[in-house]
Structure 1
Amino acid sequence: MEVSALPVASSHKEKLISAGYTTLLSIIGVSASRLAQELIIPHCEAMDIIKITLNCSRAMGLEGTHALLKGARTAWEMLSDEQNLKHISTGCEDFDGILGGGIHCGEVTEVGGVPGIGKTQLGIQLAVNVQIPVSYGGLGAKAIYIDTEGSFMPERAYQIAEACIMDIWENLVFPHKDNKDCQERMQPDHFLSNILYFRICSYTEQIAVINYLDKFLEEHKDVKIVIIDSISFHFRQDFKEMVQRTIVLNEMSRLLMKVAKRFSVAVLLLNHVTAKHTEGQFQLTLALGDTWSHSCTNRIILYWDGDERHARIEKSPYLPSASAPFSVTNKGIRDAVSHCKRARMMYNRY
C-alpha cells in the first residue's frame, strides 16, 4: 500500500513522501521521535501516523500473506520467463552483442558516463527503436521518457526516427502482408506521438511520477521502456542530508524494480559521473554513491578510448564483463567506424 492511500492529513502525506516514506513498509519500524524530527511535526502527530500505519498493515497482513503463498513459482518457470523476455536494440550491433541482444525488458539498467559521451542519444534511440513493428524485429511498443534536466530534443528524436525508418526499408528483403498498414505507421511523427514525455523540475516531482508509474502502466500496457534522464540530477542538487537521500533512493529503486518485473518493461536509468577520493587520488565513478550501485540489475559505463566511444558492462548477474565500440552519428547510435580502413567519418556532435 502506498502512503498516498494512507488515511492521514494531506499535509502529512506530502511530508512523508518528501522524506522518502512512500509505502507502509518504509514507515514501519521508524521511531516516533525520528519521524517527528524528519517531518518537522509534533511527537503526538508522529505517533498517530505510526499507529494508523500499523493498523492498515495488520488489516492487509493476512490477505498479503495468502497471496504470497499462493504465488509460489518453480525456478524452471522463472528461467522460462527470463528466456522469453524481449530485447530492445541500441542501434549498434556490437553494443547489442555484449548485452545479449539489446537492453532487456523486465530489468533495470543503469547507463552512466561523462558529459557528451552519448547517454541522452542512447535514451532517445531506444525510445525510437522500441517502436519498430514486430514484423520487422521490434516490439511495436511505446516509450515513457522522464526528463529531469530538459535535455530531451524532439528535433533529434524526429531525426533518429527518420533514420530508423529508412534503415528498415533499406534492409527489407520480402514485403510483408501488412506492408500498407506499416507504411502508414512508419512515419516520424507517428514515432514521436508514441514517446510519452514527462518534464520533471524537482526531486518531489520525480518521486511523485515514479510512484504513479504503476498505475500509469496499468492504463498503458503497450509501453515497453521507461527512460529516466537522468536519475541523479535533482538528488545531487537538492539534497544535503545523505541519510534521508539514501532512504528516498532505496525506495525509488524498489519501485522501479517492481515496475520492470510486473509489466515486463525495460527501465533505463541514465546517470552522471562524479569524482571519488580513494587512496589519496581522485577517481571517476557514477553519481549517488556506493549504496545506489546495487539498485539496478545491469550497470553499463560509456567511456572514451582515444576518440572512439565504448560501452562496458560493469555489473550484471548473468552477462560477462565485456566492452564494445559504438558511434553517435546523424542517424543516432550506430556501429563504430572500422579500424581496418582507418576511416574517420565526421558527424555533427550532439
Structure 2
Amino acid sequence: MEVMRIAISGTQRGKLISAGYTSLSSLSSISPSLLARDLNISEVEALEILKAASHSSRKDNAGGSHAVLNGAQNAWEMLHGDSCTRITTSSADVDDILGGGISCKEVTEIGGVPGIGKTQFGIQLAINVQIPVDFGGLGGKAIYVDACLDTEGSFIVERALQIAEGCIDVMGEDDYFRQRDIRAVREKLLPEVFLANIFYFRICSYTELIAMINHLDEWVSKHKDVKVVVIDSLTFYFRQDFEDMALRTRILGEMALKLMKLAHKFNLAVVILNQAATKYTEGSCQLTLALGDSWSHASTNRIILYWKGDERCAYVDKSPSLPSASAPYSITAKGIRNSSKNCKRLKIL
C-alpha cells in the first residue's frame, strides 16, 4: 500500500486509508482544505501530509521518466499473447453468452434482485476454478470475501459442499475419466479437497474491506495458484455507511483500480457480486445494479441476473468483447445448471 511509505504517523495513515486515500496518486491533486475535511484534521496538518506524500512521490520517480515507458507491447503481441482462460459457470447456455465462461485477467460484476442466485454463482465459481486441467479447468484455488451484513454471512459451507459434490459428479461422467485410471486426479476429486482450496475471509465494515483489497496483491503473490477472487458483495457497506457521495465515489474508484490491476497481474478472475437497483429514464424504470453510474464503469464485464416469468436469466449488460445477450439458467441441488422446467425457484437449504 503506497501510503505506508509516507513519512507520517500511524494515526494519520489510518485516517488516510479510512477515507480512501491509499495511493500517492490519490493525494496528488487534492487541496489541503478538502483533505482536512475528509480526515477531520486541521489544514496545517493536511498540508504537512501532502508535503510528505509529494516527497515520497519524488523519491519513487527519481529513476527518471524512462521508467514509465518500460514494458510496451504492440497490438499484434497483445492479440496473440496469452490466450484468455475462463472459468465455467456449469451452465453451457450461460457460458455460451460469456464466450466460454468468466474471463481471467478481468473484473466481472454479477448482480440482480434478492434470491436470483448471485451467491450461488459466487460459490459455483469458487468450486469450478478447481476443476483439474485434465478436464479443461484451471486447477486453481479461490478467495471468497464475504462482506454481507447478515450475522452469519452469505457463504454457506454446506451449500459449497453440495456444489462440490455436484461438480465431482459431472467430472465422473466424463469419458476421459471413465476410460483411464487417473489416480492422481481421483485423489483431488474429493469434496473436502475442494472446500480446503477456498480461502474464506469475513468482512464486517467498509474499512476492513478497503484494507483487505489493499493487501490482496501481497497475499496472492504468496498463493499464486489462486485463480478467482469473489467479493460478496461491495454493496452492503457502501449503500449503508455513506452520506458523502464524493468520498464514496473516490473510495470505490481506488478499489476498482486495484482489483483490475490484481486480475491482470496474476491472470485471475475477480468477480464482484452486487445488488439490483431501479433506474428511472425518460419516464420508464429499468433494472440496473447498485452504486450508481460511476461504479458501472468499474468492471470489465457486467452481468445482470433477472426473472423472466418463473425462469432465471443472465444478461450480458456490458462487455468490451461480448455482444449483449441473455440465457436462462437453473439453480439445482448440485449448483448452477442449464434451465430446466422442473428446477424453477428451488429453495436451497
TM score, norm. by length of structure 2: 0.95
Aligned residues: 344
Match of 1:22 in 2: 22
Partner amino acid, structure 2, of 1:318: S
Match of 1:108 in 2: 107
Q: Is the 8 A contact 1:117 1:304 kept in 2?
A: yes
Deviation at 1:176, TM superposition (A): 7.6
Bigger drift between 100-109 and 32-41 goes to: 32-41
For 1:61 and 1:131, the matched residues in 2 are separated by: 41
- Aligned residue for 2:278, secondary structure, equals strand
1:63-98 superposed Cα distances (whole Å, 9 cap, x missing partner): 37433312111111112236x121000000010001
For 1:345 and 1:37, the matched residues in 2 are separated by: 53
Structure 1 gap ranges (5+): 338-342
Deviation at 1:61, TM superposition (A): 1.3
For 1:122 and 1:105, the matched residues in 2 are separated by: 16
For 2:261 and 2:272, the matched residues in 1 are separated by: 15
Partner amino acid, structure 2, of 1:9: S
Partner amino acid, structure 1, of 2:315: R
For 2:320 and 2:195, the matched residues in 1 are separated by: 34
What pairs up with 1:159-238 in 2 under 5 angstroms?
A: 159-173=162-176, 179-238=182-241
Deviation at 1:53, TM superposition (A): 0.6
Q: Is the 8 A contact 1:129 1:164 kept in 2?
A: yes
Partner amino acid, structure 1, of 2:7: P
Q: Is the 8 A contact 1:329 1:347 kept in 2?
A: no
After superposition, the Cα gap between the structure-2 partners of 1:251 and 1:176, relative to the gap in structure 1 and judged at 3 Å, is: farther
Match of 2:127 in 1: 128
Match of 2:58 in 1: 58
Partner amino acid, structure 2, of 1:24: L
- Aligned residue for 2:228, secondary structure, equals strand
For 1:112 and 1:249, the matched residues in 2 are separated by: 17
- Aligned residue for 1:96, secondary structure, equals helix
Aligned identity (percent) is: 56
For 1:155 and 1:65, the matched residues in 2 are separated by: 53
Q: Is the 8 A contact 2:288 2:304 kept in 1?
A: no
For 2:248 and 2:58, the matched residues in 1 are separated by: 28
Structure 2 gap ranges (5+): none
Bigger drift between 171-180 and 69-78 goes to: 171-180
Match of 1:239 in 2: 242
What pairs up with 1:1-350 in 2 under 5 angstroms?
A: 2-63=2-63, 65-81=65-81, 84-149=83-148, 150-173=153-176, 179-337=182-340, 343-345=341-343, 348-350=346-348
After superposition, the Cα gap between the structure-2 partners of 1:78 and 1:206, relative to the gap in structure 1 and judged at 3 Å, is: same
For 1:80 and 1:52, the matched residues in 2 are separated by: 43
CA root-mean-square deviation: 1.6
For 2:38 and 2:105, the matched residues in 1 are separated by: 34
Q: Is the 8 A contact 1:330 1:347 kept in 2?
A: no
Partner amino acid, structure 1, of 2:32: A
1:225-260 superposed Cα distances (whole Å, 9 cap, x missing partner): 000001211111111110100000000000011101
- Aligned residue for 1:249, secondary structure, equals helix
